[in-house]
Structure 1
């Protein structure tokens, strides 16, 4: 976090505010291209072979999201745009413009890296667009706002964390499936594609709660709670639990054993230790 704070102080003035407005603009551009000539997108896709030939604009233009040619539904396309606009804007409000920019653009870099890995090993140009970047944004949103509810099919309320678990399970299964088929480089690429979320998730966990020191603190706390519920002055007297006013720390006798017994606290012991007169001067002092 200190490193991010230093980066933000140094480069925060260059952050793009309301970044999702520009991302939605890419959706609109993609929609217009679809209306004009959907095959123009072939000049915009991330093709590493073409990039190596000098078409470097593909490193940016692959972010233009083009609707599917078959089964396109304008209503659901608008819902998708609004959903990701809302998620991205929420993340920017929570983190600030600089950190959201860093998260989004690091996702772009990791997606390019994933494509390079697949191309280097298999020679295949993976058609990566905003899919994995949007998934990484959704996972981050689910981690930050787990109890926010969405209406599934506009009817059934469901918490974002539940959807996050479902999508995560599907994603892990997809990775397992490609690795099982021997395409383990594709699995590596899929992990790289959402590496920005993995870095965010593990970097923001509170590891103190699983540290040995924290386990010791919890154990001491539970022991103190047990002692509070079962104090030393609780004894079994005539078949029932009785709280006594006095109890000798050496012999355990109380005023119930003998009404004539006298008890005193020892000023030299560390803690509240009470003794009967038989042991007040003969006991070993307790030092912590």
Structure 2
């Protein structure tokens, strides 16, 4: 993160506070325009073919489209709740990261998404790739879950679930969606925005992997210690696990305490 610190030192004044709230307000305005029939949802999405045809505004307008268009007032309630959760997570990330890093994280997500869309369209020219701003929400959610894994959300307002498990469920569904996509171009466009997450959290992911490996090694050594016999005869290698009926005693041999079972002691005595 030293590079980010240097970048923030020189460009921090460009950061926009509450940038996610600004996006939410813009999406509310667009949603109101959709309800009145003045704007169509598909007319704002990032579609590389449409941009090639001269609809350059799609390079920016896709960021202010709502995540989806509710079909009923009941679904509109969930949309409002979705926006609230998005705002809450952005506030937490802004407090943990600072304004500049959150801005930079969102900006890199957008740049990767745009580049991925055009690269994907180039690879799959016969298909039509379109990008909605859902990747921003999912990227923010993954970032929030990585930094605050044990915070609980109430699923259906009843069931408490830690955010880290919700993140794994999201990743699982994303993998299924990725496999179901028709072309490699679509897959590239889908994956590209999340490169920003990998860049920002590569240190966290590496530390998490190292920590898991250390815990696994410690657990393996602990089990080996528990499974290892406490007493082992130096003459016949019998121990209390392989021969529980034997009696093991210690004696001093050349100033060293050695273990001998009763069978070997009796054999030595008879000799």
Give the structure 2 partner of residue 98 of structure 1.
100
8 Å contact from structure 2 (residues 20, 90) kept in 1:
yes
Distance 1:19-1:208 versus aligned 2 partners, 3 A rule:
closer
Instruction: Give the match for residue 81 of structure 1.
Output: 83
In structure 1, runs of 5+ residues without a counterpart are 231-238, 255-288
Q: Which residue of 1 aligns with 2:134?
A: 131
Aligned residue in 2 for 1:167: 170
Which position in structure 2 is the counterpart of 1:11? Answer: 11
Aligned partner of 2:239 in structure 1 is none
Distance 1:240 1:5, change over 3 A: same
> For structure 2, which runs of at least 5 residues remain unmatched after alignment?
230-246, 259-271
Q: Residue 256 of structure 2 corresponds to which residue in structure 1?
A: 252
Match of 1:190 in 2: 190
Other-structure match for 2:69: 68
Bigger helix share:
2
Does the residue aligned with 1:204 lie in a helix, a strand or coil? helix
Deviation string, structure 1 residues 12-61 (Cα, Å, up to 9, x no partner): 11111111220111221222111221544444322323433444322111
* Residue aligned with 2:94, SS: helix
Could you tell me which of 141, 149, 154 is aligned with 1:146? 149
Is this contact kept in 2: 1:136–1:197, CA < 8 A?
yes
Secondary structure in 2 aligned to 1:45?
coil
- Check the 8 A contact 1:117/1:189 in 2, yes or no: yes
Contact 1:16 1:101 in 2 (8 A): yes
Structure 1 residues 152, 199: CA separation in 2 closer, same or farther (over 3 Å shift)?
A: same
Q: TM-score, normalised by structure 2?
A: 0.73
Bigger Cα displacement from structure 2, 197-206 vs 126-135: 197-206
How many Å apart are 1:208 and its aligned residue? Answer: 9.7
Greater Cα shift, 135-144 or 197-206: 197-206
Which structure has the greater CA radius of gyration?
A: 1
Shift in CA distance, 53/184, structure 1 to aligned 2, threshold 3 Å = closer
1:57-114: per-residue Cα shift (whole Å, max 9, x none)?
Answer: 2211111223426346221111011011111111111110111001111111111122
RMSD: 3.4
**Could you say which structure has the greater relative contact order, defined with CA pairs below 8 angstroms and 6 or more residues apart?**
2
Q: 1:36 to 1:6 in 2, by over 3 A?
A: same
Mapped partners of 1:58, 1:74: distance in 2:
25
- C-alpha contact (below 8 Å) 1:33/1:41 kept by paired residues: no
Q: Normalising to structure 1: TM-score of the pair? A: 0.69
Equivalent residues, number: 235
